[in-house]
Amino acid sequence: MAQAIRPVTMPKWGIEMTEGTINQWTIREGQQVEKGEPLLEVETEKIVNTVESPAAGTLRRIVACAGDVKPVGSLIAVLADEDVSDAEITFFIDSFKGATVSFEPDAEGASAGGATADESQLSADEPRISPIARRLAEKLGIDISQVKGTGRNGRIGKEDVEAYAARLDVMAGGDGTTAGSVAAVAPGASTMQANAGSVAALAPDASVAEANPFKRLKLSATRATIARRLLESKLAIPHYRLTIEVDVERLQQHRRALPSQPRISLNDMLLRACALALVRHPTLNAQFAGEEILQFEHADVAVAVASESGLITPIVRAADRKSLQQVASESGDLAERARRGSLTKPEINGGTFTLSNLGMYGVTSFDAIINPPQVAILAVGAARAGVVVRNGAPAVTQLITLTLSADHRVVDGAEGAAFLATLKDLLQAPDRL
C-alpha cells in the first residue's frame, strides 16, 4: 500500500513561508495525472504558485479544498493507483503525519522529543511558545493565551504572533481602539492590549445582527501578508512626510508627442524620473537591515498595483538604466500580470523604493506607508488645473502633488527635500527622461 499511495503535501517556497492558501485545483478527483503536471494553485505572500504533481497516478482524494489554509508539510491530496481501495485511502489519510518545518532562530538545538530550556519553565497550563515569539508578544502587548500556535503540538512561533497582531490591526479603529468597542482601557495599557481585550466586542449582538446582517470574510494569504507588513511598518518605522507641487504641463505635452507604442503613461514618466533621482540621492535608494543600511547602485522601483486580492508591488529592476519606452513596456506587463495573480516571487521581492499613484481615482494627495525594508515611498496625486506665476503674471497650468514618506532612521529631512527638488527638476524638463 505504501508504494501505491503517494501523498501531496503543502510545499514550502522560501524560508519565511509557514502556510499556504489553496487557490484552486486544476485536476479533479478521479482524474489521471502525470508527474510534473500542474495539480493546483497555492497563494502565498502576494503571489500564486503552481504545484506540480510529485508522481504519476490518479488523484483519488482532495483533502484541502479551495480557500483552505494549510501549514507547510500538511496533507492536501492523495495520489494512488486505481486498484487501491477507498478504505486504504482513508486509513492513509487518518494515519498521515506531516513534516514539521521550523526555521525559528531559537529552535536550533532542541531535540525532537524534548522541550527547549525556555519551554521547560512554562507551567502545564501555559501555552508552548518560542522565546522570540514571547519577546515579540511582550513588545506588542499581546496576551499569548489568545494566540493560536501552528507549530508542532500547538507551539506558538514568531509568525503566529505577527499574524495575530495583524488581525488586531485590521480590526482596529482610527483612534487606536477596536472598532465598535466601548470598553475602557486602563491607564498605561498599550494599544495592542486594548485591541486584544476588546476583540469580543466585534461580534454584534443578536438585535444588531438582525437589523443589519453581515458576513465574515477570512483574510486571504495576500491580505494577511499586507496587514502584517503594514503593521510592522507603522509600529517600527518613524515616518515623516514632505510634500511638493510640480507643474506637469510640459511633461503632459511631451508625453502626448511620444510614439503611441508602447503607450507611455504619466506614471511611467514618474517612475523613470524617480529612478534617475534615486541614483543621485542614494540615501533614499536603500534598505534598512537592522544594524546596517544597504545602499544600492541601481534603482529597483516597485509600483503599487491594485488587484482583487490586495495591493501588489511588482518591481521594475534597474529602471535608471532603461529607456522610458522600456520602463513603460515592462511596467505595463508587470501590472497586467499582477492583476491576474501570475507574478513570480522574484518579481515582487526586494525593491529599493516604491511609487504609489492614486491620481486615476481623483485623489489629489495622500500619505503612503513605507514598504519595509525600503526607507521611502512616493505618493502621487491626480493632475489638476492650478494657477502659477510665470514672468510675473498668473497662468493656468497642470499641477500634481507629490508626498514623500521617509524613514527618519535613515533619511534626514534635508536629504528627502533634496530628492524631491531633483525629481521636480526632472519632471519639468521631460527631455531629460
Q: Quick one: 245 and 210 in the same domain?
A: no
**Candidate ranges 110-124, 189-203, 307-321; pick with highest mean pLDDT:** 307-321
CATH code where residue 420 lies = 3.30.559.10
CA atoms within a 13 Å half-sphere pointing along the CA-CB vector of 42: 25
Average pLDDT, the chain: 82
> Is the distance from CB of 21 to CB of 67 less than 8 angstroms?
yes
pLDDT of 192 over the 90 cut: no
CB 6 within 8 A of CB 95: no
Residues 292, 393, single domain; the answer is yes
169: confidence class by pLDDT, cuts 50, 70, 90: low
Rounded to 5°, angle at Cα 227 from 221 and 230: 135
Q: Would strands 301-303 and 353-357 be described as parallel, antiparallel, or unpaired?
A: parallel
What are phi and psi for residue 419, nearest 5 degrees?
Answer: -60, -45
Q: Is residue 229 in some structural domain? A: no
Same domain, 83 and 132: no
- In the beta sheet, which residues pair with residue 388? 395
Average pLDDT on 156-179 reads: 61
Least confident stretch, 17-26, 245-254, 363-372, 394-403? 17-26
Q: At what angle do helices 413-427 and 266-280 cross, to 10 degrees?
A: 130
Among 73, 101, 71, CA closest to 8: 73
Q: How far apart are CA 93 and CA 172, in angstroms?
A: 40
The answer to whether residue 254 is catalytic is: no
Residue 163 predicted with pLDDT over 70: yes
Same-domain check for residues 330 and 384: yes
Do 248 and 210 reside in the same domain of the chain?
A: no
The 10s digit of each residue's pLDDT in 275-298 is 999 999 999 999 998 889 999 999
Q: Which CATH number is 68's domain given?
A: 2.40.50.100
139 against 338, higher pLDDT = 338
In this prediction the pTM is: 0.64
Same domain? 161 vs 288: no
The answer on 213 and 248 residing in a single domain is no
Q: Give the torsion through C-alpha atoms of 269, 273, 278, 279, to 10 deg.
A: 110
User: What are the C-alpha distances in Å from 182 to residues 93, 94, 177, 200?
Assistant: 46, 46, 9, 11
Is 234 contained in some domain?
no
> Are 304 and 413 found together in one domain?
yes
Burial of 430 (0-12, 13-18, 19+ CB in 10 A): buried
Q: What percent of the chain has a predicted confidence (pLDDT) above 90?
A: 48
Question: Does residue 388 sit within a domain?
Answer: yes
Residues 272, 370, single domain; the answer is: yes
Render pLDDT for 205-235 as a digit per residue (tens, 0 to 9). 777 777 888 888 877 777 777 888 888 888 8
Q: Is a pLDDT exceeding 70 seen at residue 12?
A: yes
d(CA 308, CA 302): 18
- In this structure, is residue 233 part of a structural domain? no
The answer to whether 371 and 287 are in contact (CB under 8 A) is no
249-257 vs 266-280: helix axis angle to the nearest 10? 110
Q: Indicate whether 125 belongs to any domain.
A: yes
In which domain, by residue range, is 124 found?
Answer: 117-221
Question: 171 and 30, same structural domain?
Answer: no
- Set of cell numbers at residue 65: 479544498
Q: Alpha-carbon distance 81 to 59, whole Å?
A: 9
Same structural domain, 409 and 280 = yes
Across 357-381, average pLDDT? 95
In-domain check, residue 358: yes
Whether 230 maps to a domain, the answer reads: no
Domain contains 259: yes
Active-site annotation holder among 239, 254, 298, 408: 408
The CATH number for 185's domain is 4.10.320.10
Q: Structural domain tally of the chain?
A: 3
SS3 content of the chain, % helix, strand, coil (to 5): 35, 25, 40
Chain segment 331-352, per-residue pLDDT in tens: 999 999 998 888 888 898 889 9
Residues 189 and 255 grouped into a single domain: no
- Write out pLDDT tens, residues 295-314: 999 999 999 998 877 889 99
